[in-house]
């Protein structure tokens, strides 16, 4: 969250008396705490971004990527320009585009994307050669190298066993896949990967990094911890990764074909300043302060709606204490109660929903200790509501 409140909250917070369900009002779920800047069901919490979904791929036909995907290969010859030879000097690759697929030309070398990226959701489709040649690692071998460092194995394992930690969809040399869910050679395999690189702080590992993989919709790597860059014969050695790297595809001497390659960058984890997961106490406090400040700024604009203004200011206390705001709430509450008590009997019914909403807010604030147990307006309003039987009314 930046400086302004999420617009939905601005609309909702003050619609409470208009009959919204309780869950769509403030003062509802458990409040923020030391590592969670948001209340449960918090209306101020930013909404998920909108993504228009694509379509699923089949063996016959590639699907359409989701709206926010960055496409690395779409089947066109021009898309090959997004790739280069993985030789140190780069340069054009000799891999070819044929029938909507990019095909490895044996002995031409690995290829890599010009684009560099780190944590991602990656979608790749590959097909082993229809002509079955070789056994074990010699048959339909290629590889998907995340950041150029971690290989998710590409291999024609259909009726072709090999060592388990080098099977198709293994994290090569580290972890075999949970299943062999391959289609026959010649058919496209649909691979979806979630990749999180290792995180280090002051030379210390704070997150090993993880890979999850689906092969043709079947889970084959379940949040597998990384053990460092993958290699042949050698055990991986954990260590820091750069922030970004190219995606690489392997030339292992087989004309493996690829199509429909895209990725979606993933947001940073809490440990690197993002909001995914439980936050640090410092990050939590900073976000709570921002929310409180935005609520107080919003309250300042509600001078013509005194009840809304009081509730908005009271809501800010849930995120960060502030003596001046608390004192204003107390004064506003006193004014509100005086007005309520002075209301002619005939006009009282129209104030019922407001009164119940305000009482519920005060009860919440006292229950969670944002206002003291001695907060007089709560007891007074409670007595008033009960005396009218409003607490029993629907
Ligand atoms: Mg390989």
The reported pLDDT for the residue numbered 19 is: 58
Asked, for residue 120, whether it belongs to a domain, the answer is: yes
- How many structural domains does the chain have? 2
Q: Indicate the SS3 state at residue 363.
A: helix
In the listed set 208, 238, 272, which residue is the last one of a domain according to the structure?
Answer: 272
**25: nearest Cα among 17, 33, 34:** 17
- 264 and 307 belong to one structural domain: no
- 210 and 191 belong to one structural domain: yes
Record the tokens describing residue 215, joined without a space. Answer: 């092969």
Asked, for residue 77, whether it belongs to a domain, the answer is: yes
pLDDT tens by residue, 208-223:
999 999 999 999 999 9
Asked, for residue 261, whether it belongs to a domain, the answer is: yes
The rounded Å distance from CA 79 to ligand 1 centre is 23
- 101 and 167 belong to one structural domain: yes
Whole-angstrom Cα distance, residue 329 to residue 207?
A: 44
pLDDT tier at 394, thresholds 50, 70, 90: low
Q: Which domain holds residue 132?
A: 70-272
If you average pLDDT over residues 282-289, what whole number do you get? 96
Query: Is the pLDDT confidence value at 168 over 70?
Result: yes
pLDDT tens by residue, 233-265:
989 899 999 999 999 999 999 999 999 999 999
The rounded Å distance from CA 140 to ligand 1 centre is 9
The reported pLDDT for the residue numbered 236 is: 87
Record the tokens describing residue 245, joined without a space. Answer: 């790297």
The rounded Å distance from CA 154 to ligand 1 centre is 5
Query: Is the pLDDT confidence value at 12 over 70?
Result: no
- 135 and 97 belong to one structural domain: yes
Query: Is the pLDDT confidence value at 2 over 70?
Result: no
Asked, for residue 90, whether it belongs to a domain, the answer is: yes
The rounded Å distance from CA 239 to ligand 1 centre is 22
Whole-angstrom Cα distance, residue 281 to residue 36?
A: 8
**241: nearest Cα among 273, 195, 287:** 195
The rounded Å distance from CA 240 to ligand 1 centre is 23
Q: What phi-psi label fits residue 78: left (phi over 0), alpha (psi between -120 and 50 degrees) or beta?
A: alpha
The rounded Å distance from CA 152 to ligand 1 centre is 8
pLDDT tens by residue, 64-92:
999 999 999 999 999 999 999 999 999 99
Which comes out higher in pLDDT, residue 19 or 320? 320
pLDDT tier at 10, thresholds 50, 70, 90: low
- 374 and 257 belong to one structural domain: no
Query: Is the pLDDT confidence value at 16 over 50?
Result: no
The rounded Å distance from CA 188 to ligand 1 centre is 17
**% of the chain surpassing 70 pLDDT:** 94
The rounded Å distance from CA 267 to ligand 1 centre is 29
Residue with tokens 């040399």: 173
In the listed set 226, 249, 272, which residue is the last one of a domain according to the structure?
Answer: 272
The pTM for the full model equals 0.90
In the listed set 272, 302, 328, which residue is the last one of a domain according to the structure?
Answer: 272
């Amino acid at each position: 969250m930046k400086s302004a409140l999420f617009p939905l909250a601005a609309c909702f917070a003050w619609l409470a008396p208009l009959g919204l369900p309780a869950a769509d009002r403030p003062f509802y779920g458990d409040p923020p705490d030391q590592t969670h800047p948001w209340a449960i069901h918090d209306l101020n919490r930013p909404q998920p971004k909108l993504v228009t979904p694509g379509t699923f791929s089949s063996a016959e036909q590639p699907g359409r990527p989701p709206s926010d995907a960055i496409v690395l290969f779409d089947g066109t010859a021009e898309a090959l320009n997004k790739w280069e030879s993985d030789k140190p000097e780069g340069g054009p690759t000799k891999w070819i585009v044929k029938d909507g697929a990019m095909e490895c030309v044996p002995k031409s070398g690995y290829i890599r994307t010009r684009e560099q990226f780190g944590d991602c959701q990656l979608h790749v489709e590959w097909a082993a050669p229809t002509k079955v040649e070789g056994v074990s690692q010699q048959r339909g071998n290629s590889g998907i190298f995340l950041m150029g460092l971690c290989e998710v194995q590409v291999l024609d394992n259909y009726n072709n066993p090999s060592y388990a930690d080098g099977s198709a969809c293994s994290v090569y040399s580290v972890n075999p896949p949970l299943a062999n869910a391959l289609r026959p050679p010649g058919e496209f395999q649909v691979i979806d990967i979630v990749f999180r690189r290792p995180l280090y702080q002051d030379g210390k590992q704070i997150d090993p990094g993880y890979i999850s993989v689906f092969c043709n919709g079947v889970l084959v790597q379940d949040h597998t911890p990384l053990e460092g860059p993958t290699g042949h014969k050698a055990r991986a050695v954990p260590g820091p990764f750069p922030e970004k790297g190219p995606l690489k595809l392997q030339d292992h001497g087989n004309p493996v074909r690829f199509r429909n390659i895209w990725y979606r960058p993933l947001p940073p984890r809490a440990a690197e300043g993002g909001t995914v997961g439980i936050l640090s106490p410092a990050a939590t406090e900073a976000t709570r302060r921002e929310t409180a400040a935005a609520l107080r700024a919003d309250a300042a604009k509600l001078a013509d709606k005194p009840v809304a203004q009081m509730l908005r200011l009271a809501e800010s206390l849930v995120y960060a204490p502030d003596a001046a705001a608390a004192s204003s709430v107390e004064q506003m509450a006193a004014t509100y109660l005086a007005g309520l008590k002075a209301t002619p009997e005939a006009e009282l019914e129209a104030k019922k929903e407001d009164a119940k909403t305000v009482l519920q807010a005060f009860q919440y604030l006292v229950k969670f200790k944002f206002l003291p147990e001695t907060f007089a307006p709560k007891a007074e309003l409670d007595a008033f509501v009960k005396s009218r039987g409003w607490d029993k009314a629907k």
